[in-house]
């Protein structure tokens, strides 16, 4: 089975928030910024749906700034890890490793709480007043793609919001949606979770 980074970053929208519309009259992102700054770690389950309707599930670990781990369900030999600088996809079945700078991925907006949302982000209309949808993209760097993060108001969550999931769009207009469940915020996560075993054979000189 051959995987590509698109397995994480591309597929149709499945979150029930309506189709992104032009920015609302208010582009106040203060609630979202407060939430992002209040979250240092996140531990959650995730469900990923591709454009053909196929779903995969797994476990997500996030540690800001710049660290994330997507560990897929049993039988899916794919691991995606960000170590603070690079986003790496490891396919253990074909013994292949691909790597990109985090800043070149839509996930940069999620991993860096210092991301200038006021500059690159805008609120988009949703069908529910308790849902905040924020689209982040750099118009000068369309090759970096777009991420639309979906937040739900929740009492007791950091700054009163919880991250329900996101939709990522790459430069080729491929979409992926991620839905989160069982979220735990600001619990200790060991740095060792953001390392990985290289499956490639050692080349001897």
Backbone phi, psi, residue 120, to 5°:
-110, -10
User: Where do the domains of the chain lie, and which CATH numbers do they carry?
Assistant: 9-186 (2.50.20.10)
Beta-bridged to residue 153, according to DSSP, are 161
Q: Identify how many contiguous H helices and E strands the chain contains and give both numbers.
A: 4, 11
User: For 40-92, what is each residue's pLDDT tens digit?
Assistant: 999 999 999 877 778 999 999 999 999 999 999 999 999 999 999 899 999 99
Nearest to 64 by CA among 184, 191, 167: 191
For residue 22, name the pLDDT band (cuts at 50, 70, 90): very low
CA distance 90 to 102: 15
Which uninterrupted H or E stretch holds 109? helix 108-111
Residue 80 contacts residue 3 (beta carbons within 8 Å)? no
| pLDDT at position 18 over 70 | no
User: For 113-134, what is each residue's pLDDT tens digit?
Assistant: 666 677 789 999 888 999 999 9
Contacts (Cβ under 8 Å, ≥6 apart) of 134: 29, 32, 117, 121, 122, 123, 124, 148, 149, 151
CA distance 77 to 71: 9
User: For 143-188, what is each residue's pLDDT tens digit?
Assistant: 778 889 999 999 999 999 999 999 988 777 778 899 999 999 999 9
């Amino acid at each position: 089975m051959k995987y590509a980074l698109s397995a994480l970053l591309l597929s149709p929208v499945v979150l029930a928030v309506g189709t992104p519309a032009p920015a609302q009259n208010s582009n106040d992102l203060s609630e979202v910024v407060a939430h992002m700054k209040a979250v240092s770690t996140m531990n959650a389950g995730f469900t990923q749906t591709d454009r053909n309707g196929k779903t995969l599930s797994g476990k997500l670990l996030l540690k800001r700034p710049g660290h994330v781990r997507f560990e897929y369900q049993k039988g899916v030999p794919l691991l995606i890890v960000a170590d603070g600088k690079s986003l790496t996809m490891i396919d253990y079945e074909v013994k292949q490793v691909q790597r990109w700078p985090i800043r070149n991925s839509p996930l940069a907006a999620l991993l860096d709480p210092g991301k200038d949302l006021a500059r690159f982000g805008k609120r988009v209309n949703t069908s529910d007043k308790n849902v905040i949808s924020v689209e982040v993209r750099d118009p000068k760097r369309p090759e970096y793609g777009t991420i639309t993060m979906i937040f739900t108001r929740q009492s007791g969550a950091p700054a009163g919001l919880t991250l329900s999931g996101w939709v990522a769009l790459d430069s080729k207009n491929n979409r992926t949606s991620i839905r989160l469940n069982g979220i735990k915020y600001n619990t200790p996560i060991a740095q060792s979770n953001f390392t990985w075993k290289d499956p490639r054979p050692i080349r001897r000189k």
